[in-house]
Structure 1
Amino acid sequence: MKISFGFNTIFVVLSCAWIAYASDPSQLQDFCVAVPDANSAVFVNGKFCKDPDMVVAEDFLKQGLNNAGNTSNQLGSVVTAVNVNQLPGLNTLGVSLARLDFAPYGINPPHTHPRATEAFLLMEGTLYVGFVTSNPADLNQKNKLFTKYLNPGDVFVFPQGLIHFQFNVGKTNAVAFAGFGSQNPGTITIANAVFGSDPKIDPDVLAKAFQVEKNIIDYLQAQFWSNYN
């Protein structure tokens, strides 16, 4: 599927990306186009800069976000990320974005972005979205859930580090774009991280944490956990 982008649409999408709070360190030069990690000898917080004399316009270009991602998977959704790993010119600039595609009743399951706030713009379809606050100071209170049903043109913000989700409640495909306040926001999909880690978390730990029988944890850890988002 391809969707057409008018000037107003492009303006709103880019605005979502650029107004997202930038938590990455500020750059000290005009740009620092990333050198692929395969060419790096050591690890750094970010990526090495390409020689400015070797930088070309293509370093700042990523094409193809008008094309739908493949949602034929367990979740019925897919995220096409455009962060510093796909677009080297984003290095040190503190922003990135993504396209999200949802099949009918597809879900982007509960997850967090440890390094970025997300500004989420729905283009097509109807989504049920929400996020949960961090643990309250008062132990007698519970984590608060904020949810909304989104229609085309709606923007919803997911604060940095908080667990959030998107679910297609419609009978048609849904398309959204997201802007992030980091060149590499990271994603922790909760179920995958807890039940699909390598090596596995001790089932006794999870059984105690979730207050369920160990055989339930054994069942969950035996499932096929794969990251599509």
Structure 2
Amino acid sequence: MEYLMAVKNFLLGLILLTCSGAFASDDPSPLQDFCVADLKAPVLVNGYVCKDPKLVIAEDFYTSGLHLERNISDSCGSGSDSISVIQVPGLNTLGISMGRVDLDSWGVIAPHYHPRASEIITVLQGTIETGFVTSNPENRLISKVLKKGDVFVIPKGLVHYQRNIGNGHAVALTAFNSQNRGVVTVGNAVFGSKPSISSDLLAKSFQVDENVIHQLQAKF
């Protein structure tokens, strides 16, 4: 009887462990020690084709320069850099990636979402306001002002933003549970699509004059 109970508990624990691992990331789980991406392979799969393990070297798992300040040249006063499978081929199938965000004084990362990953942000320097909006119908804004050492989590697929609310330079590190999180910036997607979404449709959707839509489309 005790033996059967022990087996039952073991199987239950195994199921829970498997489920927790499955929900940790939507990326495919690796079936070997590693699958270093062959970025030059002509074959298209959900991810990247594995490089021959015999040809794998330490540099496949390595990158540098995360300590360097990013170029802040866009109109929003922000600069960011992604460290994904493209920069580190060894990330292929591991379900993780990260990045760095630099914000000028009162600079912003415009509202956007990641279709394939949740995000965790850690502030290294400055004061950053970040927040996300819940799905319909509540559309509730959940936001927080973060200082050095503070951490904030953003659920997968929800629109969110970052803003430097200090007078100096702000820096944060971000991490994602996908090797290729994807980024959809709301303004670019809605007003900068190619070909353009019909202006009369957008005018009705946003309840504004069509000329306003034309002005916004011209900026994207």
CA contact (8 A) 2:43 2:49 kept: no
CA contact (8 A) 1:21 1:116 kept: no
1:46 aligns to what?
47
Q: Which amino acid aligns with 2:198?
A: D
Partners in 1 of 2:159 and 2:76 — Cα distance?
A: 17
Match of 1:148 among 139, 144, 150: 144
Count of residues in correspondence between the two structures:
198
1:33 aligns to what?
36
Partners in 2 of 1:196 and 1:126 — Cα distance?
A: 31
Partners in 1 of 2:57 and 2:126 — Cα distance?
A: 37
Partners in 1 of 2:88 and 2:198 — Cα distance?
A: 38
Which shows bigger deviation, 58-67 or 20-29? 20-29
Instruction: List structure 1 segments (4+ residues) > 6 angstroms apart after TM superposition.
Output: none
**Structure 2: segments with no counterpart, 5+ residues:** 1-22
User: Which has more radius of gyration?
Assistant: 2
Partners in 1 of 2:89 and 2:36 — Cα distance?
A: 5
Partners in 1 of 2:42 and 2:154 — Cα distance?
A: 36
SS in 1 for 2:212: helix
Report the RMSD for the aligned CA atoms in angstroms: 1.2
2:216 aligns to what?
220
Partners in 1 of 2:74 and 2:175 — Cα distance?
A: 24
Superposition map of 1:8-157 within 5 A? 21-36=24-39, 39-136=40-137, 142-157=138-153
**Structure 1: segments with no counterpart, 5+ residues:** 1-19, 137-141
SS in 2 for 1:58: helix
How far has the Cα of 1:72 moved from its partner?
2.4
SS in 1 for 2:143: strand
Identity of aligned residues (%): 52
Partners in 2 of 1:150 and 1:31 — Cα distance?
A: 36
Partners in 1 of 2:135 and 2:76 — Cα distance?
A: 25
Partners in 1 of 2:217 and 2:24 — Cα distance?
A: 36
CA contact (8 A) 1:94 1:182 kept: yes
SS in 2 for 1:156: strand
Output the TM-score relative to the length of structure 2. Answer: 0.88
2:177 aligns to what?
181
Q: Which has the higher helix share?
A: 2
How far has the Cα of 1:41 moved from its partner?
2.6
1:16 aligns to what?
none
How far has the Cα of 1:163 moved from its partner?
0.3
Deviations 1:148-198 (A, max 9, x none): 110000000000000000000100000000110000000000001111111
CA contact (8 A) 2:76 2:108 kept: yes
Output the TM-score relative to the length of structure 1. Answer: 0.84
Q: Is 2:202 aligned against 1:201?
A: no
Q: Which amino acid aligns with 1:89?
A: G
Partners in 2 of 1:21 and 1:147 — Cα distance?
A: 24
Pick 1 or 2: higher relative contact order, CA cutoff 8 A, min separation 6: 1
Q: Which amino acid aligns with 1:91?
A: N
Partners in 1 of 2:189 and 2:86 — Cα distance?
A: 21
CA contact (8 A) 2:76 2:109 kept: yes
